[in-house]
Amino acid sequence: MTAESSQSNITGEQVLFGMASAPEDSCIVAVEPEPQSGVRVYRRSGSKITCSLEPFSPWLLLSDPPESDLGADRVVPLDGEGYRYIAEFRTQSEFHNARFSLRDRRRDSISYPGAKSVLMRSGQTLFKGMRFDEIVRLQFDIETFGLDPQPENNRVFLIAVSDSHGLLELVEGDEAEILERFVEIVHERDPDVIEGHNLLGFDLPFVMCRANRCGIRMSLGRDDSEPTMGRERNYAIGGASRPFTPIYIHGRHVLDTYLIVQRYDWAKGSLTRYGLKECARTFGFAHENRVELPGDKIGEIYASDKALVQEYARQDVVETRLLADLVTPVEFYQTQMVPDNYGQVAVTGNGERINSLFVRAYLHAGHAVPFPEASRPFPGGYTEVRLTGVLERVVKADVESLYPSLMLSHRIAPARDSLGVFEPALRDLTQRRIQAKRSAAEAEDVAVSQYWEGVQGSFKVLINSFYGYLGGPFPWNDYSAARRVTELGRELVVDVAERIEQSGGRVIEIDTDGVYFVPPEATVGAADEQAYVEQLGSTLRSGIRLAFDGRYARMLSVKTKNYVLEGYDGKRTFTGSSLRSRADERYGRRFLEAAVDLLLRNDKPGVSLLYRQTFSDLQNHLIGIEDLARRERVTEKTHSSSQKRRSKTIAEGVAIGDYMMVFEKANGELGLVSEYKKPGDENTRYYTEKLYRFAKRLEDAFGGEFSTFIPRPGSEQDAMQETLDLFT
């Protein structure tokens, strides 16, 4: 499994898909390093899995030759500067001893775990030559008598199991028998992937704990081994992260749709919560007669109405499979490129995925991996709001893949990319995406169209991450290049905006790669608007395409990156946390949504009346605690930061990364919703002042009249009510 070459003229295809191209390099579904030497390689042919033991030497990268006592079996020098020596070891134990020794000596090195190490050196990737529907994916969902697996009575009483090839089975009975049957099903169906919703946070740790209590071996691995827990790590979601603990199963991949859907929805903002049922409803595949049961009462309900709970479990596991169908293909097709385990690709950041491609290419060429530049600031994307309020006849023009297009058209690449892999990889990826989009559009068969959609989606994610790679903590980062890209991007979109205004249009907002605007009066209708955008883009530099990206009946512009679009079909799209945020209390979200509806109809007095009514309802305790509560996530800072001291007192026993539903108590303290007893327990003054802050987010939409329609609450609530009466 080791490929070496002195080649330096590497093609974009080789950078993206690795250098291995022999038939035996296809349909690999898993690789697992052996404890001593070699690697087990699992290949799928239809329903059949074969396993072969192949040679492999664990390795790591060093900047200087290793000392003799490090135990390296072989040292391979590399061309260039940076990490320029590969130290290879006979066994995994010798490799790990060397890593620990280097750490103790404070010697810098680069090494990779498990499958990534194997695939990085061999040039192979998983699933090459396979479609998403050709792997076997198994889903399971458990029902228990409690949420903590430790108490003896909190047993598993039902496991619902399905897979992508037609299985749907409920396993019930004695707990030990349930767990044994579950293990049997896994080996009978022999899945390449095991999926679940909150699989890593609940289902899999729970059954592992209960199996241990029952003396059952959860031998789910293809080698009959039991799952193993990894070290806690962070899952990046946009600019935030969520801690999780990975679980590994030999020869299989573990994917948690609860995590993956958060990244999938980050830019879309369709979800306010990530529970399975909300995902199913939002994305349109919820069961028509969906059974809804309180999680902490399912065991009690099962005792009196077994059939109801059985149907509930069936629906859960089927919706888990459908959710995985939607959110995991991008990661699957990226795994055909990125040298890593599928489960790891799914939780790895895009910058690290790209970095893996480059490291693989450089090692294949026998070239050193450079040291990264020290971090330094550089400007981000250009944004500007020129008009606020309600605008009609709105069009959006978007520069397709702005930053990647600029990097290609201006030949911008990292200065330390001495082999020149950055540009051909980006160019090849861009061309492949165009071809994949065309194939998806032309496909008559639904399955074929879905295949190409998954492929083009995987390409799109990587393409849009090449710019971010330049400004990240990676070996080939280049902050000067990143700065140059953003400067060119700003020049381009500002130039487009100026052309719009010179021709009689009105620019509403510039946002990095797009412009929202009202076209000139003579430009009427979709055809004219598209022709207008084409004319704007006709003079741009070769390789830069200005695309017509939508038309809207009206737009409520509030502030930078905070707006509402209303289509000609009446459908609305909210953008920006000022208008819709998962962190807001429900009463605030409802107020904002209703206020936006009124503003889009230019009904400012109506917003004032809505504000007054909501204020009155708060004063009279008519808004329930479920609408006043907010969701707060428990983090390390919850227990250590002085700013979080109120949260610390109620977070005892809540796991890091989980959420609490909290409210402001009348005495000014923070409380759990479960502590709420009766109307008046809440801090009315806090919630009325918060209502004003919600309203103030819309201030720029009032054209200087905000204080006329939305007066600030005074220190005396009676005075506030008297002021509001003026608008009755």
pLDDT number for residue 639: 66
Q: What is the pLDDT of residue 5?
A: 38
pLDDT at 715: 42
What is the per-residue pLDDT for 135? 97
What count of other Cβ atoms lies within 10 Å of the Cβ of residue 496? 22
| Mean pLDDT per 10-residue section of the chain, whose length is 728 residues | 50 88 82 92 95 95 94 95 96 93 93 94 93 96 92 95 96 96 98 97 96 96 96 85 93 97 82 88 90 86 94 96 95 95 94 96 96 91 93 95 94 96 95 92 88 89 93 96 95 96 96 94 96 94 92 94 93 86 90 95 95 95 94 75 69 72 91 90 95 95 92 59 44
Classify residue 697 by its DSSP letter: T
Give the pLDDT confidence score for residue 656 in this predicted structure.
67
> Do the beta carbons of residue 155 and residue 144 sit within 8 Å?
yes
Q: Is 174 helix (H, G, I), strand (E, B) or coil?
A: coil
CA angle 427, 433, 437 (to 5 degrees): 155
The whole-number pLDDT of residue 582 equals: 76
Please check whether residue 554 is in contact with residue 698, taking contact to mean a CB–CB distance below 8 angstroms. Answer: no
Give the tokens for residue 520. 């000139």
> Which residues, including other chains, have CB under 8 Å from residue 12's CB and lie 6 or more apart?
421, 424, 425, 426, 427, 428, 429
Q: Which of 238, 234, 290, 233 is nearest to 262 (CA)?
A: 238
Domains of the chain: 12-129 (no CATH), 132-333 (3.30.420.10), 383-413+478-575 (3.90.1600.10), 586-725 (1.10.132.60)
Question: What global pTM score does this model have?
Answer: 0.84
- pLDDT computed for residue 719 by the predictor: 43
Interhelix angle 350-364/114-122, rounded to 10 degrees, is: 40
Q: Residue 380: what pLDDT?
A: 85
Give, rounded to a whole angstrom, the gap between the first and last alpha carbons of the chain. Answer: 79
Q: What is the pLDDT of residue 728?
A: 41
Q: Are 274 and 258 within 8 A, CB to CB?
A: yes
**DSSP one-letter code for 307:** H
Return the pLDDT at 237.
Answer: 85
Write down the pLDDT at residue 718.
Answer: 43
